Amino acid sequence: MFVDYVDKFLAEFGLDTNAVSSYLIGDLSKTGWPQSRKDIRNKYFPDDFDSTESKYEQAIKRLKPVSTSDLEKGESVCAVFFEVLQFSLWEVVQRANEVVRESMAPSRTSGGNQGSASQMPGGKTAADAIARLTGGNPQPYSVESYAALNCLYCYM
């Protein structure tokens, strides 16, 4: 649902989340952009953003190539979004772009031991702990229960 709003918003400008993600975290040196324009995008990130983290490098490698005109439109959309809302479009796009979202997610590997990642001391599983905390109802921790939540900023 949230992704649909973001996609519709960006489609109004002829963009998608890949184009905006490419502008924000992509390697602009391949496009021939001057350094001054590369530095401008830094103000569109949250203060705690660190592009040197490996999760961003993984996302950058997985982004599809984008035209220079799409990067320019992405720059304009980011600028207007930030000027009007005083909020980084990166905060929205990183959750809406599937490639970026998957790269940012914590690793879910279990080291080759099937099922051992969810085992807790005493032979209990994570599902047992959730059931105990919720009175046997795992619904509060399901994806469907969060899908109905509205954005705290725009109430959509």
Tokens standing for 15? 């963009």
Least trusted range by pLDDT, from 3-7, 27-31, 84-88, 92-96: 27-31
- pLDDT tens for 65-122 read 888 899 999 999 999 989 988 888 888 888 888 878 787 766 544 444 444 444 555 5
The predicted pLDDT at position 134 comes to 58
- C-alpha 10/C-alpha 119 separation (Å) is 43
| Band (26; pLDDT cuts 50, 70, 90) | confident
The predicted pLDDT at position 42 comes to 83
